[in-house]
Structure 1
Amino acid sequence: MRNRVLIVGAGLTGATLANLLAEKGHKVLVIDKRSHLAGNCYDQVREQILVSRYGAHLFHTNDQAVWKFLQKFADWRTYEHQVLTRINDQSVTLPVNINTINQLFGLKVKTGEEMRHFLSKQALPIKKINSLADYLLSNVGQAIYQKIFYGYSRKQWGIDPARLDVSLSSRLPIRYNFDNRYFTDNYQALPVGGFSTLVKKMLDHPKIEVKLKKDFFKLTKSFIKDFDKVIYTGPIDQYFNYRHGRLEYRSLKFIFKKIEQEFFQNNAVINYPDLSVPYTRIIEFKYFDPSAKPTKYTIIAKEYPKSKGEPYYPVPRARNQRVLAKYLAEAKELEKKGVYFAGRLGTYCYLNMDQAVTGAMKLAERIA
């Protein structure tokens, strides 16, 4: 049976679902309240530089099926991300590896075994790991925790790391080698032309219609009833009118600036963990595409986390998980009526880009 499907949200999750369902013969309408496609991975060329409006988006995956699927919609160029973190007047490597230890402490550690020995002397003896702070202190100790992680996490999430879920540790790897890459996935690349071009191609299908500047919550019930299936990728608590309480999200403010010099900094992303600095990082977009036409100027963005605004990140702490469980229970019941929830906001889960695509692929398979 072929259905009429309404997809709320034209980001990567919505575009993946739309394409897969259209390929199976379903007629799909994708709506988005914004005036552009691609959600938070929207990018555009500004003065010959491809700039991401909502911060850096980096694709990496070990999932061959996801990689094969996305290959159909863009050419990809290899990009292996590296991050520096600014401590006083020094830039040190992140994630923590042998180079980080040598830079911070003026040592000459040469092997993973030596690094493990050094960190064993720094680590605090915490038996039960209940939080992100516990994880970090028990692995790298107080000095590294304070210098690299505490201030950044406090600014990013708006609460003490001792109140953050330990699941965030998966985003802060510790490496016992000299590998400076932030990710080690088999596939690390960026789409030529940007993510907006990628999403546009995904939605270019005779069975897909797209309507922008269309707010789901302003649609009439009769309009929605015309669809056999509804897939919602917005904030799950908003869908239910916050009846179980509001989930916490972190938002971001970006201050963009054109700098009249070829490069502003020596890396694409530099973190600023010092609490006296109001932003968390500076992004310089030229580094994401070394093959682009050279310019005598550059564009940077300073990233300021905030509690209000467009939702970016679900806040991983116990209170939110309790509230989420109530919404997920209702969402499961709604599936019987053909309503589904997907994506980072729809599932209140801090997904990477490949995980968003994987989730969409699995949901499309279930619906189809």
Structure 2
Amino acid sequence: PSVASAASNAAQTPTSVAKPADKPLPLSSEIKLTENEKTFCRGRPSSCVFVASLAANRTDDELSVAVATHFQKWGVPSTVKVLRDTCNRPYAFVQYSNNLEAKRAIKFGHNSILNGRNIRCEQAKVNRTLFLSSLTVFTEKAIEKHLTDFGEIEQLAQSDPAGVLVESHSAKGSKAWYCKFVYRDDAIRAFANLSEGNNFEVEWAQNIDTCNNDPEIEELESKPSFDKFSIFVGQLSPNIKDKELKERFSRHGMITHVDLIRKPGNTFAFVKFEDESSAASAVERENHSMLCGKTMHVQYRETFVNPSRSFDRVKGIALAPPPINLNRRYSNTRNEKP
């Protein structure tokens, strides 16, 4: 369902204010502590809440603080991300550390009031599925062995080359597969590695359990080239210090180099990790999260043989999970986590 229809439904629904017992509203200082936590648990997709019908007249930074404050009534969010669709309608993803808090947030948060609006809450459809095609036939055992290097796999499904699911798997294997990982940062790392190789053509796809048989295929002219150990961090506060940046991103792993660049009206950084899994973790958890009162944009650091290439691809390939306006195979569902 669209945000517009959700907002219309919310407007017709009587106002209800959630009042969970024994959960006092946290102070703003507590939110600040949460933002700078050094340790965290991997967020399971089942513990992520999708929030729609937010106030479009507020900035992303203001909405991030408001959503974080609102949803700490029902637990301790590990991350809060605010994004906008192509019509500038804001929505958010609130990641909890356990399913109990997420379910409580959905139950009490749905139709509660935030910034004068009834918001809509439901479990997020966390996008963690890749579509892989090859000139070589791979059996299920072979493709599983190839992909488990990147992380735990939740589901593998055979497909025809056009992306239509095959009802019964062939023992001979297939040239095309859907792979749904348990964790999204593992899918990000798999995408980063496989898209640069020659064995597979790889695309982000809608999760297998929500696929239909009417594929929308996007032709991409060229493959990206990027450093799987390095990330780009944009939209930083002009007052941020090197120490604050290192402290925030070191929770993902050992940092080998930080390059903080300040230009008039634009502060950004490049962070290089010792391990590529640390970079994938940073892209997953930090993209659209807040640091020093600003919403960061985090993705892999792109490299180009020809620098002009960066201006040739308007849409580009999603180095972080696909943004809401990027056409994806089978993608027409809004509440998939970007």
Give the strand-richer structure, 1 or 2: 2
TM-score tier, shorter chain, comes to: under 0.3
Name whichever structure is richer in helix by fraction. 1
- Name the larger-Rg structure: 1
TM-score normalised by structure 2 residue count:
0.27
Q: Which one scores higher on RCO, CA 8 angstroms, separation ≥ 6?
A: 1
